Amino acid sequence: MVSKNEIKLITSLQQKKYRNKYQLFVVEGIKSVKEFVQSKYPVYQIYVTEDIHIDIDQNLQSIISKNDLKRITNLKNSSGVVGIFKIPKLFTKDTDDLQIILDEVKDPGNLGTIIRLCDWFGISQLICSTGTVDCYNPKVIQATMGSLTRVNVIYTDIKSYLKKEKVPVYVSNLSGENLYKKVVDKKAILVMGNEANGISPEIMELADKKISIPRFGENSKAESLNVATATAIFLGEFRRQSML
């Protein structure tokens, strides 16, 4: 059975400082846990209730009571499986494809959705500013639905990163050129900004091209799009043009 110290450790991983301290994070759900087991993420421990049978090495599993599961789960309706994984050392990699950079994106749901979008559109690398929400936040993990296992997410000083890159840098900007009238580069960087403040001035200065999503509703009073929604539209158009 699970000890009090184990429960204390698992619940502490709700906070970033303890994830950093122990270099561990939590994954919930049978499908997501199985995807992480089969990925680059080393397993620390898998906890399952007695009524759950999951196709994972028995040596990695520990039985947990339903009462103890309630103490460690983030979900209202848990599947009965909680995985603890080690945070690996990840490094930026060279790519001949489109890269996405996030400038201070704070909402876990937005980051999780953007990671799923990268997975869907075949974007292998996502670069995040150090102020962007932690990709190992439980809410981010839940929103990615396993996609984090297939996207290289790196946290770095994005200003320094952009200065070193030699590909066109596109930024999302309301006053930018109409996305649908712009021929975009296949190998490029697309920067998406903070939910409330957009892209910071110092990053905007490094932009080669500013692009925007046109608003079609004549009577619309919407000031902007959600950052994850906007990212989906941009990626769709970048990928469409790459097929021409």
Residue among 173, 83, 82, 194 at smallest CA distance from 128: 194
Could you say which DSSP state residue 65 is in?
Answer: -
- Neighbour tally for 39: CB within 10 Å: 15
Q: Sheet containing 125-129: which strands, arranged edge to edge?
A: 152-156, 125-129, 99-102, 189-192, 169-178, 209-212
Q: How far apart are CA 129 and CA 105, in angstroms?
A: 8
Residue 110's domain spans which residues? 99-242
- 91 falls within a domain: no
The whole-angstrom separation of Cα 5 and Cα 11 is 10
Q: What is the mean pLDDT of residues 151-180?
A: 96
- 77 and 118 belong to one structural domain: no
Whole-number CA gyration radius for the chain? 20
**Listed range (46-60, 98-112, 226-240) with the worst mean pLDDT:** 46-60
At CA 166, angle to CA 201 and CA 191, rounded to 5? 40
Confidence of residue 136 (pLDDT cuts 50, 70, 90): very high
Average pLDDT over residues 147-163: 97
Q: Give the end of a domain, one of 41, 56, 86.
A: 86
pLDDT reported for residue 119: 98
Q: What is the pLDDT of residue 10?
A: 96
**In this structure, are 77 and 105 located in the same domain?**
no
120 and 173: one domain?
Answer: yes
Q: What confidence score (pLDDT) does residue 76 get?
A: 84
Let me know whether 10 and 126 are in one domain: no
On whether the pTM is more than 0.85, the answer is: yes
| pLDDT tens sequence across 170-185 | 999 999 999 999 999 9
Residue where a domain stops, chosen among 45, 62, 86: 86
pLDDT digits (tens, 9 = 90+) for 219-232: 777 778 999 999 99
Lateral strand order in the sheet of 43-48: 24-28, 81-86, 43-48, 61-63
Residues 60 and 145 in one domain: no
Asked whether residue 187 falls in the same domain as residue 143, the answer is yes
Domain count, the chain: 2
Strand partners, 194: 198
Same-domain check for residues 176 and 113: yes
- Say yes or no: 79 and 133 in one domain: no
Q: Say yes or no: 15 and 60 in one domain.
A: yes
Is residue 93 a part of any domain in this protein?
no
